[in-house]
């Protein structure tokens, strides 16, 4: 009894990829995708609860479907992802029109759950054990035909005091190298040229056979027709010098690192239980920079953590000024029920102060990003051409190996190829340039990228 579906995704790239897997499952069942949840027979809210904002946005968008469901009684509404895992059955009480609550390691059963609801009309909660090993036997329906996400590990064993993720994603479990290689090889055979390896903490990737992240990169680097390997998220705590060596040593691994710092102050880092200090963080960055002179570096930062003083926040400003990130994801601290910080620390930085700190940090980061764009002028980047620019139909767009977005004039026949682009300008987050040569991939590879 297939119909149409709409999946609304919040949160991180893991969630985006979980949605791609659910789309693959629904497509295999004959469902077709529609853009508006109001017209769909099956609506899935794939939720995030890392901060209060993301959670309440999902809840209110779900609430707005009440009258649509009254008009279409066959409509089935499901909530998956971290809010579902965290709240389980309680969601059915909060949202009387919700049919299915589905946990972070249960979403692979979505079609069977739909069958149950459609046959019996019952409301179901499938929020199972999240510490179990996990495998997905379906083909994700990915947005792009050129680049795609690949899960390498699930869960998180870190105890960052502010973070809900260990509670919603369970214990770390790494997929065997052979399984990841098989998935990526199949993708490369279909024309995918770039993979983004996903895990909450890729540096602690460790298989039952004691193979680590560097071993995984080595195995993936051997795959023919694959050009580019990215990975996220790296955690400074478990980031070994060996990993940094490996990312520099394998030619397919892109020169792009997302290394969340969270704070530039050592006392705050201790309160967060990040298990590194700012000196160790600076060491990792300089090691990475020595080995990858041209690179992109991004981070996550929280301002207004409980008890953070103005002077401690200034340590974060200083670190940002010194490291000069290409981009940063910056957040106000948001207490999440069930986390150590929410249970044991008072959220004592006033909202107005948090807002002011965030603004100051964003302004600083924005000015650094502009400066960095100016420094790129004259540089030549290898760009994988991904498509036509959404903002300007006369321009192509793609990403450099440092993962900067680059736009440039060119023929759409170049989509799917690598070109060299000389940078002439840009904005804080996008570089603009002109193609200098278009060489076949083999020639570029022979020339050492
Ligand atoms: N409050 C604010 N930001 C948070 N993050 C995680 N938990 C919280 C929280 N409780 C941020 C961190 C993390 C990113 C994904 O979200 O910076 O790296
Ligand atoms: Fe949000 Fe974290 Fe869950 Fe990702 S893992 S969806 S960021 S709460």
pLDDT digits (tens, 9 = 90+) for 138-183: 789 998 999 999 999 999 999 999 999 999 999 999 999 999 999 9
**Any bridge partners for residue 229, and if so which?**
195, 253
* Ligand 2 neighbour 82 (Cβ under 6 A): yes
- Say yes or no to pLDDT of 310 above 70: yes
Average pLDDT over residues 263-274: 98
Q: Would you state the pLDDT for residue 446?
A: 45
Domain 4-126, CATH = 3.40.50.12160
- Say yes or no to pLDDT of 136 above 90: no
Average pLDDT, the chain: 94
Q: Would you state the pLDDT for residue 438?
A: 55
Q: Would you state the pLDDT for residue 246?
A: 83
pLDDT digits (tens, 9 = 90+) for 381-433: 999 999 999 999 999 999 999 999 999 999 999 999 999 999 999 999 999 99
Q: Percentage helix, strand, coil, to 5, in the chain? A: 40, 25, 35
CB within 8 Å of 304: residues ≥ 6 apart: 313, 332, 333, 349, 353, 354, 357, 358
Q: Would you state the pLDDT for residue 245?
A: 84
CB within 8 Å of 98: residues ≥ 6 apart: 62, 77, 78, 79, 91, 92, 123
Residue of minimum CA distance from atom 18 in ligand 1:
300
Average pLDDT over residues 290-315: 97
Instruction: Determine the distance separating the centroid of ligand 2 and the alpha carbon of 83, expressed in angstroms.
Output: 9
Instruction: Determine the distance separating the centroid of ligand 2 and the alpha carbon of 377, expressed in angstroms.
Output: 36
* Ligand 2 neighbour 202 (Cβ under 6 A): no
Domains 4-126 and 377-447 belong to one CATH topology: no
* Ligand 2 neighbour 260 (Cβ under 6 A): no
- Say yes or no to pLDDT of 283 above 70: yes
Q: Would you state the pLDDT for residue 247?
A: 87
Dist CA 227 CA 195 (whole Å): 9
Q: What are the tokens at 414?
A: 């170049």
Are the beta carbons of 214 and 242 closer than 8 angstroms?
Answer: yes
- Phi, psi at residue 117, to the nearest 5°? -65, -40
- Say yes or no to pLDDT of 130 above 80: no
* Ligand 2 neighbour 48 (Cβ under 6 A): yes
- Say yes or no to pLDDT of 373 above 80: yes
pLDDT digits (tens, 9 = 90+) for 332-346: 999 999 999 999 999
**Global pTM exceeds 0.85:** yes
Tell me how crowded residue 124 is: count the other CB atoms within 10 A of its CB. Answer: 18
Closest CA to 165 of 81, 230, 45, 108: 81
Instruction: Determine the distance separating the centroid of ligand 1 and the alpha carbon of 398, expressed in angstroms.
Output: 28
Are the beta carbons of 43 and 35 closer than 8 angstroms?
Answer: no
* Ligand 2 neighbour 11 (Cβ under 6 A): yes
Helix (H, G, I), strand (E, B) or coil at 381: strand
Domain 377-447, CATH = 2.40.50.140
Please report the DSSP string for 7-75 in residue order. EEE-SSHHHHHHHHHHHHHHHHTT-EE-S-GGG-SEEEEEE--SSHHHHHHHHHHHHTTHHHHHH-TT-
Instruction: Indicate the pairing of strand 327-332 with strand 296-303.
Output: parallel
CB within 8 Å of 121: residues ≥ 6 apart: none
pLDDT digits (tens, 9 = 90+) for 203-247: 999 999 999 999 999 999 999 999 999 999 999 999 988 889 888
Q: Would you state the pLDDT for residue 305?
A: 98
Residue percentage of the chain with pLDDT more than 70: 97
Q: Would you state the pLDDT for residue 1?
A: 60
- Say yes or no to pLDDT of 447 above 50: no
Ligand 1 environment, Cβ below 6 A = 50-51, 162-163, 260, 262, 300, 302, 331, 333-334, 336
Q: Would you state the pLDDT for residue 437?
A: 76
Nearest ligand 1 atom to alpha carbon 300: 17
Q: Would you state the pLDDT for residue 35?
A: 96
Average pLDDT over residues 115-143: 85
Dist CA 96 CA 90 (whole Å): 11
Q: How far is CA 405 from the centre of its chain?
A: 16
- Say yes or no to pLDDT of 118 above 80: yes
The ligand with the least distance to the CA atom of 47 is: 2
Instruction: Determine the distance separating the centroid of ligand 1 and the alpha carbon of 300, expressed in angstroms.
Output: 8
* Ligand 2 neighbour 398 (Cβ under 6 A): no
pLDDT confidence tier of residue 256, bands split at 50, 70 and 90: very high
Q: Would you state the pLDDT for residue 334?
A: 97
Nearest ligand 2 atom to alpha carbon 47: 6
Domain 147-374 = CATH 3.30.9.10: no
Distances (CA, A) of 423 to 368, 391, 412: 18, 18, 19
Q: Would you state the pLDDT for residue 344?
A: 98
Domain boundaries, the chain: 4-126, 147-374, 377-447
Pocket test for ligand 1, best of 83, 162, 164, 362 (most atoms within 8 A of CB): 162
- Say yes or no to pLDDT of 129 above 80: no
Q: Would you state the pLDDT for residue 18?
A: 95
**Any bridge partners for residue 430, and if so which?**
405
Instruction: Determine the distance separating the centroid of ligand 1 and the alpha carbon of 160, expressed in angstroms.
Output: 10
Start-to-end CA span in the chain (Å): 50
Nearest ligand 1 atom to alpha carbon 341: 10
Nearest ligand 1 atom to alpha carbon 329: 17
Residue of minimum CA distance from atom 1 in ligand 2:
48
Residue of minimum CA distance from atom 14 in ligand 1:
300
């Amino acid at each position: 009894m297939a119909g149409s579906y709409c999946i609304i995704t919040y949160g991180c790239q893991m969630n985006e990829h979980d949605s791609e897997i659910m789309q693959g499952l629904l497509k295999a069942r004959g469902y077709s995708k529609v853009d508006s949840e109001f017209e769909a027979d099956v609506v899935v809210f794939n939720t995030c609860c890392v901060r209060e904002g993301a959670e309440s946005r999902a809840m209110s968008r779900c609430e707005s479907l009440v009258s649509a469901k009254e008009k279409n009684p066959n409509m089935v509404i499901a909530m998956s992802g971290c809010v579902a895992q965290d709240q389980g059955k309680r969601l059915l009480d909060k949202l009387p029109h919700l049919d299915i609550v589905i946990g972070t390691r249960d979403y692979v059963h979505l079609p069977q759950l739909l069958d149950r609801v459609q046959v019996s009309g019952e409301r179901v909660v499938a929020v199972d054990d999240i510490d179990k090993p996990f495998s997905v036997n379906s083909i994700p329906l990915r947005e792009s035909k050129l680049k795609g996400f690949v899960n390498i590990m699930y869960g998180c064993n870190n105890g960052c005091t502010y973070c809900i993720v260990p509670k919603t994603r369970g214990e770390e479990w790494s997929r065997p190298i052979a399984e990841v290689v098989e998935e990526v090889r199949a993708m490369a055979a279909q024309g995918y040229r770039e993979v983004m390896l996903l895990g909450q903490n890729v540096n602690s990737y460790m298989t039952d056979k004691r193979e680590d992240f560097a071993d995984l990169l080595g195995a993936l680097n051997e795959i023919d027709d694959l050009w580019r390997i990215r990975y996220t998220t790296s955690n400074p705590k478990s980031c070994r010098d060996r990993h940094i060596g490996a990312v520099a040593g394998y030619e397919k691994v892109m020169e792009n690192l997302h290394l969340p710092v969270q704070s530039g102050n050592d006392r705050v880092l201790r309160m967060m239980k990040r298990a590194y200090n700012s000196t160790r963080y600076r060491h990792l960055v300089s090691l990475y920079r020595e080995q990858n002179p041209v690179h992109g570096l991004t981070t996550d930062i929280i301002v207004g953590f409980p008890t953070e003083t103005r002077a401690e926040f200034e340590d974060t400003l200083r670190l940002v000024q010194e490291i000069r990130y290409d981009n940063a994801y910056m957040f106000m601290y948001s207490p999440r029920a069930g986390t150590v910080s929410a249970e044991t620390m008072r959220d004592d930085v006033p909202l107005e102060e948090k807002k002011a700190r965030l603004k100051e940090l964003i302004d600083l980061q924005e000015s650094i990003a502009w400066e960095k764009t100016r420094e790129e002028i004259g540089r030549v980047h290898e760009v994988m051409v991904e498509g036509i620019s959404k903002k300007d139909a006369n321009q192509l767009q793609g990403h450099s190996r440092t993962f900067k977005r680059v736009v440039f004039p060119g023929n759409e026949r170049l989509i799917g190829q690598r070109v060299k682009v000389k940078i002439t300008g840009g904005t804080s987050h996008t570089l603009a340039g002109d193609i200098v040569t278009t060489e076949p991939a083999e020639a570029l590879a022979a020339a050492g990228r």
